[in-house]
Amino acid sequence: MLEKQIDTFKKYRFLLRELVKKGIKLKYRRSYLGILWTLLEPLLTTCVLTLVFGTFFGKDDKTFPVYILTGRLLYSFFSSGTKFAMKSIRQHAGMIKKVYVPKYIYPLSSVLYNFVIFAISLIVLLGATIVFKVYPNVWCITAIIPLVLLFLLTLGVGMILSTMSVFFRDLEYLWDVALMLIMYTCAIFYKVDTMAKTGHAWIFKLNPLYAIIKCFRDAVYGNSMFADPFWVIMPTVVSVLSVIVGVALFKKHQDNFILHI
Amino acid sequence: MANYAIEVNDVGMKFNLSQEKLDSLKEYMIKMLKGELKYNEFWALKNVNFKIEKGDRVGILGLNGAGKSTLLKVIAGVFKPTEGQVIRHGRLVPLLELGAGFDSQYTGAENIYLYSAVLGYSKEFVDKKFDDIVKFAELEKFIDVPIKNYSSGMKTRLGFAIATQVEPDILILDEVLSVGDAKFRKKSEAKIMSMFKSNVTVLFVSHSLDQVKRLCNKAILLDHGELIASGDIDEVAAIYEEKTS
């Protein structure tokens, strides 16, 4: 059974690659700067966020733009990855109705191509760390952990959303609202300490995306993310769980997709 | 049974035709709480049983709504049957509504790779066959133009050229022989005929009984989702003619 699964995956690897390529190519087609936007866009929004919020929250912190950029980059991958995965089944309805292809290829390719764009945009972060003198040390290697967790979480949530949105299209609008809530509780453009003072620090403990961003910041700033193991264990559990639930849910309902698109 | 190309065992396909389409969660909840969720069950196929031997060319006959297209989609693997199962031996190529996998923003060349991937070809294979595909579709001049600027004839030509690049074991045809203009039709028919010679198993749906008689040696007849006759083309065609007259 598993062997057969791996065989079909091998057979459709080329399709997966083509779909990832398509996502990246079409995203910036017909814009003059093309793929350069993957770098420009986070750079410009970070400038705006620093201008707006830096004066409030980051007065004493010379490296505040790096702080914002790390949060924003990770959040925007999560947001676009889940959104595109959610819409992937409907977007490829034409193909699904005509040819047999393992359906998980569609949400998977959506998450993957957004991950590639995200990976390219990390170059901006590299530049920012040099400009703002956040120098790397050995802990930087641990950045790989939150990145893997982020990918898993996005894939898992994306699979859950893609299954549910086939049956209830309202979810596309609901998710936008939910994402807003997630964004404001991710501490992208403010320091957690200011929130902690008001006694609302528990909110962050419920947000796996914040935990991932926190771990990533620790790595970038050269600190150990394991100082309080909660911040590594919690997102690990949630991410793995989301993938398990996502795959199970998708598998259970995928044969009915065609009757609803 | 290695001698069979396709085995269709007790296949049934049920559709829920809801009275109105429920797309929103709110509507669904309200209806569910009121107990008003009613579905009209509709069996597009029921207890369909048949086997196709390797090398047979089988025509599927039936009036509109008899379940022909549903049966083809079940065999192609697009629909999963509600009951029963379909066993396929060998590589299956569906020529159903050509070019459905195209992306309109993509150019012809990019779509060749995309559609080939959808059909499960490998990259090396497409690299090798790329020129043949372009030449067969007669699109040398337009291959770098986005597909959205193609005419529908150009799109089907490209779809046909891509789909027929492999030597399939099982070929599914749904009225595709009416592709393009007269010249291309001749060419596509010749291509399909050359595939016939290599002992391919063919499933063919057409409303033209003459065409079915010309191409097929066996036939099955569907009526309201049930299989009512199968066997040699002449026998089944006689029953079909009796029913339609």
What pLDDT shows up at residue B177?
A: 61
Mean pLDDT within B143-168? 87
What is the pairing mode between strands B83-88 and B218-223?
unpaired
Question: Judged by CB atoms within 8 Å, which residues 19-48 of A form the interface with B?
Answer: 19, 22, 25-26, 29
Rounded to the nearest 10 degrees, the angle between the axes of helix A105-131 and helix A144-167 is 140
Contacts of B114 in chain A (CB under 8 A): 18-19, 22
Contact B118 A99 (CB under 8 A): yes
Give me the residue from B15, B26, B97 closest to A259, CB to CB.
B15
Q: Tell me the chain A residues in contact with residue B103 when contact means C-beta distances shorter than 8 Å.
A: 22, 26
Same domain for B185 and B84: yes
Same domain, B71 and B190: yes
Per-residue pLDDT, B178: 63
Residues B75 and B148 in one domain: no
Residues A124-144, mean pLDDT to the nearest whole number = 90
| Sole residue written with tokens 């003198």 | A133
Amino acid occupying residue B189: E
Nearest Cα of chain A lies from the Cα of B100 at a distance, in angstroms, of 6
Give which of B14, B70, B103 to mutate to test A binding, by max A Cβ within 10 Å: B103
* Cβ-based burial of B242 (10 A; exposed 0-12, middle 13-18, buried ≥19): exposed
Q: Which pLDDT belongs to residue B1? A: 47
Domain that holds residue B64: 4-91+168-244
* Weakest-pLDDT range from B40-44, B52-56, B112-116: B40-44
Check whether B13 has a pLDDT greater than 50: yes
Counted across chains A and B, CB pairs separated by less than 8 A come out at: 70
What residue has token string 């990976």?
A: A119
pLDDT tens for A81-119 read 999 999 999 988 888 888 888 999 999 999 999 999 999
* A227 SS3 class: coil
Question: Within 10 A of B8 (CB to CB), how many other CB atoms are there?
Answer: 23
> Pick from B23, B106, B122: which is nearest to A169 by CB?
B23
**Tens digits of residue pLDDT in A17-27:** 999 999 998 88
List, for residues A177-188, the tens digit of each pLDDT value: 999 999 999 988
A255 interfacial to chain B (CB closer than 8 Å): yes
B50, B154: one domain: no
- Averaged pLDDT for residues A143-147: 95
The per-residue pLDDT for A181 is 93
Cα A109 to Cα A128: distance, rounded to the nearest angstrom: 29
How many whole angstroms separate alpha carbon B134 and alpha carbon B161?
8
The domain boundary residue, chosen from B122, B138, B167: B167
Say yes or no: B158 and B172 in one domain: no
Sorting pLDDT into bands at 50, 70 and 90, what band is B126? very high
Binary contact (B103, A169; C-beta < 8 A): no
> According to the 3-state scheme, what is the secondary structure of A112-163?
HHHHHHHHHHHHHHHHHHHHCCCCCCHHHHHHHHHHHHHHHHHHHHHHHHHH
Tell me how crowded residue A101 is: count the other CB atoms within 10 A of its CB: 24
Which two three-digit tokens encode residue A24?
A: 């990246």
* C-alpha–C-alpha distance, residues B8 and A57, integer Å: 68
Q: Do B83 and B173 have their domain in common?
A: yes
Q: How far is the alpha carbon of B236 from chain A, nearest alpha carbon, in Å?
A: 28
- One domain for residues B86 and B119: no
Answer whether A100 sits within 8 Å of B78, measured CB to CB.
yes
C-alpha R_g of chain A: 19
Is pLDDT above 60 for B20?
A: no
Distance (Å, rounded) from C-alpha A54 to C-alpha A68?
A: 9
Return the domain boundaries, chain A: 20-259
Q: Which of B198, B240, B200, B199 is nearest to B219 (CA)?
A: B240
CATH code of the domain containing B45: 3.40.50.300
Contact A15 B120 (CB under 8 A): yes
Q: Is the pLDDT of residue B26 over 90?
A: no
What is the count of structural domains for chain B?
Answer: 2
Please report how many Cα atoms fall inside a 13 Å half-sphere around the Cα of residue B78, on the Cβ side. Answer: 24
Among B7, B85, B95, residue whose Cα is nearest residue B53: B7
Report whether pLDDT(A224) > 80.
yes
Q: Show which of B167, B193, B213 is a domain's final residue.
A: B167
Q: How confident is the model at residue B39 (pLDDT cuts 50, 70, 90)?
A: low
pLDDT of residue A7: 83
CA distance A102 to chain B (A): 10
CB contact under 8 A, A171 and B25: yes
Residue of B78, B104, B106, B126 to mutate, interface with A, max A Cβ within 10 Å: B78
Q: Per-residue pLDDT for B18 more than 80?
A: no
Mean pLDDT for chain B?
A: 84
pLDDT above 70 coverage of chain A, percent: 98
Task: Specify the pLDDT at position B23.
Answer: 64
Chain A: nearest CA to B2, how far in angstroms? 20
List of long-range contacts for B176-181, beta carbons under 8 Å, 24+ apart: B176/B95, B176/B96, B176/B98, B177/B206, B177/B211, B179/B98, B179/B153, B180/B153, B180/B156, B181/B153
Based on the domain organization, do B213 and B137 belong to the same domain? no
- Identify the domain boundary among B137, B167, B197: B167
CB contact under 8 A, B117 and A12: yes
